[in-house]
Structure 1
Amino acid sequence: MVKARLKPGDEIDGFVIEDIAHNGGMARIWKVSRPDIDFPILMKVPVIGEGDDPAAIVGFEMEQMILPRLSGPHVPRFIANGDFATLPYIVMERLPGGSLYPLLERLPLPPEEVAAIGAKVAMALDSLHRQHVVHLDLKPSNVMFRKTGEAVLIDYGLARHIHLPDLMDEQFRLPYGTAPYMAPEQVLGTRSDFRSDLFALGVMLYFFATGERPFGDPQRLKGLKRRLWRDPLPPRARNAAIPPALQEIILHCLEVNPAWRYPSAAQLALDLQDLSAVKLTARAEKMKRDPLGTVLRRRFNPVPIETVKPQTAEAQLANAPIVAVAIDLAGNAPDLDDAKRKTVARIIENTPDARIACINVLKINRIAIDTSLDEEGRNKHVLRLVQLRNWSTDLPTPGGGITFHVLEAVSPADAILEYARENYVDHIVLGARAESTMRSMLGSVSGEIAAHAPCTVTVVRNRQRPQ
């Protein structure tokens, strides 16, 4: 190996070492530069010395394998790797600003801020999971933000790529992670379930909303295993300002059995973006821990841990899509509505954990002043929410639930496309109106959405019978 101790002014593979950015126990991070790179970059170098934890070296190997395979705004841009035969390093984009860690000084945060942060982190997790990676070390210090607002997940030393060898699992038997944030299945050694990251996000939301960690900070395996049978004090018992919907989301994330949590990060993000649409259960009103008898039964008759194997992890995500159904409430196309319901019912049958988002666009004027009431004095927005619920009455209930959204916009197509992009929608279902002169001249909403949607689009039509 070349110089193990770097100093400002050293040059490695064309990268000039500048100042130290972070001096950690497992790695040092240096500010570096290279003439052909015109944006700030960092070099991460593992600490390798006598008595150092070998897991740190293996974790660095994992990060070198995983980071080059990731892309998008939610991960730091990868630049280069250094070989262990000379000097191991990772060069990546240097993000402006800090992590979420400084927020710990002003906990608890207002509930609306907790939900907003959580939604952005959930979107970042969804992007990561769609790239076949489970982070397994989500915590405030591993979340940063771009100037454009996107959350960025950093530090992939404990991560698992479903399509790559898991060196951590192959070489070590003890679970690795940050104790307060580890999911029950992670404590037991499972490293391939995307829902482990949702548990960690639930811990973070609880911490931000209450100022306390739900399971403390145990340092031994015995203490870590306690979360398998001892439930946390409900968040609202610590902070009365937390709304029931936010507690519902947090406790949903913290379920012991992964199968009882949200099936995907995208569905979690959707709830965090609109607390008013969250379906409340007994979790929302809970104010005490479970009684001792219940805890003892779980202690000696554990809750089943239903995890997924690496080869089925992506299938689990595929079975939990977000399906946006665009609904015209004019009421002049009952046959088309029936056909659309049948299409949605078939989707639910094939993907039982789907989340159905019923959408209607309340068209507003570009110039004229709009009124929020109709001719009979009823609120248009509320009225349409009621109509959407009525429209969905005969649909089977999917595992992800059904939510209702009225979007106010000048352009229905733009509103639906924006909703799909912001909420990581997997499938849009909408109806095509009958042919007309105006439609032929101006183009159709369904055509515009089909042309520009970031996901699958199903356009439902009435079958035309030959005359």
Structure 2
Amino acid sequence: MAKPSRNRPLIATGAELDGFTIGECVHRGGMATLWSVAHPGINVPLLMKIPRVSEGEDPAAIVSFEMEQMILPRLAGPHVPGCFGTGDFGRQPYVVIERIPGTTLYDRLSDLPIPYEEARVIGGKIATALADLHRQNVIHHDIKPSSIMFRPSGECVLIDFGLSHHNLLPDLLQEEFRLPYGTAPYMAPERLLGVRNDPRSDLFSLGVLLYFFTTGERPFGEGETLRGMRRRLWRDPHPPRKLKTDYPSWLQEIVLRCLEIEPVWRHPTASQLAFELAHPEQIKLTARSERQTHDPLSTVWRRRFNRGLTQPRPKSDLAAQLASGPIVAVALDTAEGAGLLNESLRKAAEQILATLPSARLACLNVLKLGRITLDKTLDEQGNNKHIDRLVALRHWASPLQLDESRLTVHVLEAIDPASAILEFVEVNHVDHVVIGARQNSLARALLGSVSARVAAEAGCTVTVVRPPRLAAMHGQEETEAGAVRNG
């Protein structure tokens, strides 16, 4: 662990350090202070974070600051503050970050409980930010209201990475301390066993936050001793519906799944959690959703003496875990004559899902609207076109025999099918699109192929599947598997 120098430059308003002019102190925390700073070559508002390293300070403050210095410069994107400089402990430790306007989610505590719909939107934004963070090999490990902000454009920004784990960097907290560091009410059970490399620990913390923000009560109480915290290794919280009779079933399903003791019982990835929060009407409800009582004593005792729940687990591979639970979207054509192509699409989807036991499948169809005509909701037989297509999508997926919790169907209404598919892919953070290439036609020649545009513009892997008759020209039925990788 690096040792701070006794001859550090004085940090004071008006002083200059490595080209940064120091302004006012805007916050004094238990582990660090924040100062406004300016730099002639940087046009965004900045903050300089400086650890508290004086005599008697917690040594964990220094170690966590070293972790933040290592991790922040490696992060990018709208869900983290930009990093503009760091200073080493030999002279003056600091990190300069983008100053996000506004306040943290902590300022909403006086408003609790908040409306369910607002909590759904907030939770979805946090889950999206976590998914982006996990893809960058980082687990936050301190998700709580004071670590969450929102940009004026709406994106969630995660701050305070001092307790984080980077899958490709040394974990100094793990190496130097045996006790778990974190915020007790939000800490996942496996953290008590020394597990710091499972991204689903962040989902547990988000579940605590959603429970708290929608009921006004913390699922595991307020302050807890380490001994008391170990109870969450075998004891569930009271179901939200016991506290609020109007609590939505779909929201309880999500919250209690996040708060499962075993990580494997939670959502496989933050992306899948964000997907469920974006589509609550399609959530597969289980017994969790209607539970109104505490777990029975027999269950508590079984967990209490189950060594698998109370012993440290082997380390997992973060990248492999995320890769095993992608969101796969299949774009289907329900028009007459598309049967052979849809069968090829099903075979392609089956091959992809066979190696991904935690993947989620989203079946898409676009109900094309006219540019100037008034569209009718019923077909010539008087059937609702939207509902008919939803039924057709489920019928197409039925041979795959997926658990309902892994399958959703979506009919998108749009003038431009390609734009509708691309928007769905972006908004729902789809990892892999499977789409068919229609046979040659005059319309396709004049207007361009939907599959070609999706393959060119989607920010994920795209598999373009050819119908059998086209493939036969090449002597076999084929797919352009993984044909395009964007982003």
Q: TM-score, normalised by structure 1?
A: 0.96
Structure 2 residue matching 1:39: 3-state secondary structure:
strand
CA distance in 2, matches of 1:460, 1:204: 42
Shift of 1:333: 1.9
**Of 186, 196, 199, which residue of structure 1 is paired with 2:201?**
196
Paired residues of 2:193 and 2:312 also in contact (CA < 8 A): no
- State how far apart, in whole Å, the 2-side matches of 1:65 and 1:261 are: 29
Q: Deviations over 1:105-151 (max 9, x none)?
A: 11111111111001100000000000000000000110111111110
Which residue in 1 is equivalent to 2:299? 294
Gaps of 5+ in 2: 476-487
Match of residue 465 from structure 1:
472
Residue 142 (structure 1) aligns with:
147
Using the alignment, how far apart are the partners of 2:9 and 2:119 within structure 1?
Answer: 42
Q: Look up the match of 2:21.
A: 16
CA contact (8 A) 2:48 2:95 kept: yes
Tell whether the 8 Å contact from 2:121 to 2:277 is kept in structure 1 after alignment. Answer: yes
CA contact (8 A) 2:193 2:311 kept: no
Structure 1 runs not aligned, ≥5 long: none
Residue in 1 aligned with 2:277?
Answer: 272
- Post-superposition CA distance 1:280-316 (Å, at most 9, x none): 1111111111112221222223563799865622101
Change (3 A) 1:48 1:271: same
1-side partners of 2:16 and 2:341: how far apart? 67
Task: Determine the structure 2 residue equivalent to 1:161.
Answer: 166
SS of residue in 1 equivalent to 2:255: helix
Q: How big is the shift at 1:192?
A: 0.4
Deviates more, 1:439-448 or 1:216-225: 216-225
What is the aligned counterpart of 1:317 among 281, 303, 322?
A: 322
Deviates more, 1:379-388 or 1:261-270: 379-388
Give the AA of the match of 2:222.
D
Maintained 8 Å contact 1:98/1:144: yes
- Normalising by structure 2, we get a TM-score of 0.93
Provide Cα deviations, 1:339-370, integer angstroms capped at 9, x if missing partner. Answer: 11111111111111100001111112233332
Give the 3 Å change call, closer, same or farther, for CA 309–439 of structure 1 in structure 2: farther
Distance (Å, rounded) in 2 between the aligned partners of 1:39 and 1:452: 30
Distance 2:168 2:234 in 1: 32
Q: Is the 8 A contact 1:356 1:398 kept in 2?
A: no
Percent identical across equivalent pairs?
Answer: 55
**In the alignment, is the contact (CA less than 8 A) between 1:62 and 1:167 conserved in 2?**
yes
Match of 2:247 in 1: 242
Measure how far apart 1:444 and its partner are.
Answer: 0.6
Equivalent residue for 2:137, pick from 124, 132, 136: 132
Compared CA separation, residues 95 and 7, structure 1 to 2 (3 A)? same
Q: For the aligned residues, what is the CA RMSD?
A: 1.7
Contact 1:259 1:306 in 2 (8 A): no
Aligned to 1:87: 92
Distance 2:307 2:114 in 1: 34
| Equivalent in 73, 77, 85 of residue 72 of structure 1 | 77
Task: For 1:289-438, list aligned pairs within 5 A.
Answer: 289-301=294-306, 304=309, 312-397=317-402, 401-438=406-443
Alpha-carbon deviations, 1:144-187, whole Å to 9, x = none?
A: 11111110000000000000000000000001110011111012
Does 176-185 or 375-384 show the bigger shift?
A: 375-384
294-303 vs 234-243, which deviates more? 294-303
Q: Is the 1:133–1:161 Cα contact (8 Å) retained in structure 2? A: yes
Q: Quote the residue 2:12 is aligned against.
A: 7
Checking the alignment, whether the CA contact within 8 Å between 2:195 and 2:315 is kept in structure 1 is no
Other-structure match for 2:457: 452
